Amino acid sequence: MKNRQSIQKEVNELLTQLTLEEKASLCSGKDFWHLQDIERLGIPSVMVTDGPHGLRKQQGNTDHLGLSASVKSTCFPTAVTLASSWDVDLIATVGEYLATEALKEDVSTLLGPGMNIKRHPLCGRNFEYFSEDPYLTGRLATSFVNGVQKHNVGTSVKHYAVNNQETNRMVIDTLVDERTLREIYLPGFEDVVKNAQPWTVMCAYNQVNGEFCSEHNRLLNDILREEWGFEGLVVTDWGAMNNRVEGIKAGLDLEMPGCAGLNDIRIVEAVKDGSLDEKALDRVVERILALIVKSKRAITSHEQFDIDAHHQMARKAAGESMVLLKNDAKALPLSSSETVAVIGQFAKTPRYQGSGSSQVTPTKVYSLCDALNEKLSAEVCFAAGYRESGELDAGLISEAVELARSVDKAIVMVGLPNSYEAEAFDRIHMNLPESHNALIEAVNQVNPNVIVVLSNGSPVTMPWIDKVPAILESYLGGQASGGAICDILYGDVCPSGKLAETFPLTLEDCASNANFPGLPKQVVYKEGLNVGYRHFDSHCVRVLFPFGHGLSYTDFSYHNATVVSQTDEQIVFSVEVTNSGSVAGKEVLQLYIEKLNSQIERSKQELKAFEKVDLQPGESKTVEFTLDRRAFSFFSSASKQWEVEAGEYHIHIGASSRDIRDSVLVTLVSDYIVKPLDASKRQTVMTDQQFEALLGRTIPALQTMTPFTENSTLKDIQSTWIGRKVNQKVVENMAGSFGPNKPSEAVLLMVEKAIQGMPLRSLVLLGGGKLKFEQIDFLVKLLNGHYIRALGMFLKRKK
């Protein structure tokens, strides 16, 4: 890999030879997945592609929702699953495997990991994100990025920033106060930038506090580059560009996908008329050239990979990540002398990844039935129990019940069908399909030994929880998930996953629920810091399963929690953990910090360190954690900096946020005097006045639907006759991406929601040059009933 100086030298040489037009042309893609090349200077076109848990390299039709075919690649477990491993080394290794697959396909940059915070359990894309906790998110993303980039393949950490819902994601204005932004939504990005320098950061579609992320000077230039020292390139999410020239000024480098150079013209004009300083353009072009130069290895190495070895790695990763939620009376592991039946269509046609841009074409799929047949060397007894779509079928339930009567234990595999969670829309409730709940209840009537295996990308309710002895959360475990489930069910792998998110009892228990998904054009984060366990633990809210929870087939005891050393700069804490059970296993030690008698609004406790330890039966290990001052700090709304409040803190060490095993008291000194704004009292869900005091201004008035603009969505314009016709046309065009196969109901739903959420400008940006900005202007005039002006425009173009 070239070093920084030689890259810079090559970039500088190229830059001086570029014409203004060539510079502008580099600022957007050549097509859906490639950067622009410049033949006369030998600048190649490099490819970027999704991500994050496998490679979605499309060769024919292209789209940003995973509709058209892509080359086969290993489907590793999705982020929600991998995160539950709490295993930074494992995640780095998965990153390395992904990089090899990218190198085989000449892909320069993998568009992932997704690292938005799970603000609410219903976000449709939660399966693609790591956690509700920023510290955990940052640590895992850093490992992932380091793993991929070790092989000179780039990453794109996404979606920067505050993109925590799918509803209206392309236009919504997210209002968030500075402290919440700094403590919840940004620290993950800050960690990965400072500790892994991702080659690229992908900006989100939405607006933050009134500005689109694609032209957010504060987020891109001030925070990302100036404060955190980001050296790479910022790319738009696909179709997220709002105003190209403003974007350049704000530090947005690459617009994707390409829209046939339509924005290049605007860039050139702006430089010529003086509204854009060419130096700002040069900085952008330098960063794009640097990415191209760095990508040379990717486009020349043509590496190969071993499909089976990668499949086995996917199985291992899934096995290390799945979470044993409940295991009464040691119902698991199963013994080979017990008779079992497998019930649930997901055991045969598994749901192992989510729908949307992250959806890959796997090299193979290994279901639970496949794995059990192999393990038991016989065809396992199976009943479907429900239709694949989730529909209730009384006949299928009766068959399952009959089967369950005759065996010792019934493994019932249920979860969320594709139509329940996907990119482009949010879930509407937290329940499993009725048919799945009914199946569990019915089977349970004839066989009390029901082992529930869940396949879903985000929390679900479990009305039958007290009736079943065991529940395994397999999440969306990738193409080898069936093997991993089988490994855990039979004890070949000792479960060691821990939830990276809370499973609440009801949606109403979540503080964000009152403002999710918000209004069509605005969502106000009035819950502030009350996200996930921070809220549940601070306000003693009962939960179904707490953050960090996960059982094992062995037991762990904690001893000798102690502070080894303390200076002004850091505290070293240690604890000894022993495997006191009878099988080998892994424990995730979780360290939380609590400020006692705090004068400011503060969560009861915050995760600040963790470590996964592998222990043989009877073995003990001493684990040390080094905590810097930042681990004890809060972001002051008054001083606009990280500050430490003087006084006493508890360092808690535990097996989940609700299973603290030991605590040590430390005292910190600090000069900082808490200011009234830090100490201001708020409700769990802030009032408008409380929120405005933190925001420093009033909540902006809601935008009216009319007059229509280029940022009106296709849903907005459906109130007009012309709007309905435009919608129809776009749907017809999208249908072209499906090829000869009829799309499923779930895919149709995703496409419909995606289309409705698109602003008019993205018809140009995602249209590959088929539509021009002037045509959108013309359409907007018509939609607003300005027929004369539209006619004028039409005639002017005719001349």
Q: Which residues contact 185 (CB under 8 A, 6 or more apart)?
A: 116, 117, 134, 161, 162, 164, 176
**Nearest 5 degrees, angle CA 198-CA 203-CA 206?**
155
Tell me the closest approach of the beta carbon of residue 574 to ligand BGC, in angstroms: 40
According to the binding rule CB under 6 A, does residue 527 interact with ligand BGC? no
Q: Which residues contact 716 (CB under 8 A, 6 or more apart)?
A: 520, 705, 708, 723
Other CB atoms within 10 Å distance of the CB of residue 303: 16
Tell me the closest approach of the beta carbon of residue 202 to ligand BGC, in angstroms: 7
Nearer of residues 200 and 461 to ligand BGC, judged by Cβ? 200
Cα 237 to Cα 415: distance, rounded to the nearest angstrom: 30
Cα dihedral across residues 682, 683, 684, 685: positive or negative:
negative
- How many residues form the binding site for ligand BGC (CB under 6 A)? 8
555 a catalytic residue: no
707 phi and psi angles, rounded to 5 deg? -65, 150
644 phi and psi angles, rounded to 5 deg? -110, 130
Cα 605 to Cα 587: distance, rounded to the nearest angstrom: 21
Strands 556-566, 570-579: pairing kind: antiparallel
According to the binding rule CB under 6 A, does residue 111 interact with ligand BGC? yes
C-alpha 41, offset from chain centre:
38
Question: Which DSSP letter does residue 483 get?
Answer: H
User: What is the rounded radius of gyration, in angstroms, for the C-alpha atoms of the chain?
Assistant: 27
Q: 404-443 mask for ligand BGC (x: CB under 6 A)?
A: ----------------------------------------
With residue 411 as reference, give the H or E element that holds it.
strand 409-415
Q: 322-361 mask for ligand BGC (x: CB under 6 A)?
A: -----------------------------------x----
Nearer of residues 128 and 537 to ligand BGC, judged by Cβ? 128
Question: Which DSSP letter does residue 283 get?
Answer: H
C-alpha 606, offset from chain centre:
21
According to the binding rule CB under 6 A, does residue 34 interact with ligand BGC? no
According to the binding rule CB under 6 A, does residue 155 interact with ligand BGC? no
Nearer of residues 241 and 480 to ligand BGC, judged by Cβ? 241
Cα 324 to Cα 333: distance, rounded to the nearest angstrom: 11
Q: Which residue has the tokens 């792998």?
A: 493
Nearer of residues 357 and 712 to ligand BGC, judged by Cβ? 357
Cα 188 to Cα 185: distance, rounded to the nearest angstrom: 7
Tell me the closest approach of the beta carbon of residue 51 to ligand BGC, in angstroms: 6
In total, the chain counts a number of residues equal to 799
Q: 500-519 mask for ligand BGC (x: CB under 6 A)?
A: --------------------
Cα 693 to Cα 701: distance, rounded to the nearest angstrom: 16
Q: Which of 50, 237, 426, 487 is catalytic?
A: 237
Q: Which residue has the tokens 């459906």?
A: 718
Asked whether 331 and 470 are in contact (CB, 8 A), the reply is yes
Q: Which of residues 232-251 bind ligand BGC (CB under 6 A)?
A: 237-238
Asked whether 32 and 58 are in contact (CB, 8 A), the reply is yes
Tell me the closest approach of the beta carbon of residue 206 to ligand BGC, in angstroms: 11
Tell me the closest approach of the beta carbon of residue 753 to ligand BGC, in angstroms: 12
Q: 460-499 mask for ligand BGC (x: CB under 6 A)?
A: ----------------------------------------
Nearer of residues 572 and 730 to ligand BGC, judged by Cβ? 730
Tell me the closest approach of the beta carbon of residue 111 to ligand BGC, in angstroms: 4
Buried-exposed string 390-420: b where 16+ CB fall within 10 A, e elsewhere:
beeeeebbebbbebbeebebbbbbbbbbbbb
Tell me the closest approach of the beta carbon of residue 157 to ligand BGC, in angstroms: 11
Tell me the closest approach of the beta carbon of residue 760 to ligand BGC, in angstroms: 17
Tell me the closest approach of the beta carbon of residue 770 to ligand BGC, in angstroms: 19
Q: Which residue has the tokens 């291992």?
A: 316
Nearer of residues 353 and 590 to ligand BGC, judged by Cβ? 353
According to the binding rule CB under 6 A, does residue 64 interact with ligand BGC? yes
Cα 471 to Cα 450: distance, rounded to the nearest angstrom: 9
Q: Which of residues 634-673 bind ligand BGC (CB under 6 A)?
A: none
Backbone conformation region of residue 197, classed left if phi is above 0, alpha if psi is from -120 to 50, else beta: left
Nearer of residues 158 and 182 to ligand BGC, judged by Cβ? 158
Cα 451 to Cα 322: distance, rounded to the nearest angstrom: 15
Question: Which DSSP letter does residue 127 get?
Answer: G
Nearer of residues 654 and 757 to ligand BGC, judged by Cβ? 757
Nearer of residues 57 and 521 to ligand BGC, judged by Cβ? 57
Tell me the closest approach of the beta carbon of residue 105 to ligand BGC, in angstroms: 15
Nearer of residues 99 and 360 to ligand BGC, judged by Cβ? 360
With residue 7 as reference, give the H or E element that holds it.
helix 4-17
Nearer of residues 259 and 430 to ligand BGC, judged by Cβ? 259
Tell me the closest approach of the beta carbon of residue 369 to ligand BGC, in angstroms: 32
Out of 36, 43, 50, 396, which residue is the one contacting ligand BGC (CB under 6 A)?
50
Q: Which residues contact 6 (CB under 8 A, 6 or more apart)?
A: none
Out of 158, 179, 216, 351, which residue is the one contacting ligand BGC (CB under 6 A)?
158
Cα 78 to Cα 80: distance, rounded to the nearest angstrom: 6
**Nearest 5 degrees, angle CA 503-CA 504-CA 506?**
140
Listed residue (498, 469, 328) closest to 410, CA to CA: 469
Binding residues (CB under 6 A) for ligand BGC: these are 50-51, 64, 111, 158, 237-238, 357
Active centre residues (catalytic): 237
